[in-house]
Amino acid sequence: MISLLDDDGGISESFEKCLKQIFAKYCTPKLTLPLAGDLPSNACLDSTGLHAWALDTNGEPFSEDTKEEILQFMDVTDEGDLTFKGFLQVYQLQTENDEEETWRDLVSPPAFYTTSSSGTSVLVEAWL
């Protein structure tokens, strides 16, 4: 099985590559997928992106309490949008506490696949 966390408990390099693609699917500004290279420095999950990500991975929107916790304890912009660093923090914390939940997120159909700029489906597993 692929390691999601490294020996120090941080996000593994391969997992970070996968999470970058998932983040790119929901972030503002909209990006061409699959993402080649780095995320723009202003990339973030605004309330629309956060909502879409929650629906795709959990099947329902985040509760107000969950949204408040994410925005209070994770890295966010001055406007309160989740940064990629904050997105990694969410997954590091979740994976430390319940790796099976992270795997469920990764294999949930909408989050597991993304559409490339050419209109073809790309399997997120290929990024791990």
Q: What is the mean pLDDT of residues 21-38?
A: 90
For residue 2, tell me if it sits in a domain. Answer: no
Rounded Cα distance, 5 and 10, in Å: 5
Higher pLDDT, 46 or 118: 46
Please indicate, yes or no, if residue 28 is contained in any of the structural domains.
yes
The CATH code of the domain that includes 27 is 1.10.238.10
In a domain, residue 6? The reply is: no
What is the model's pLDDT at position 34? 80
Q: Report residue 118 as tokens.
A: 């050419």
Per the structure, the count of domains in the chain is 1
In a domain, 92, yes or no: yes
> Which residue segment(s) compose the domain that 121 sits in?
13-127
The per-residue pLDDT for range 47-70, each reduced to its tens digit, is: 999 999 999 888 899 999 999 999
Instruction: Indicate the pLDDT class of residue 1, thresholds 50, 70 and 90.
Output: low
**What's the pLDDT score for residue 58?**
87
Q: How far apart are the C-alpha atoms of 96 and 111, rounded to whole Å?
A: 20
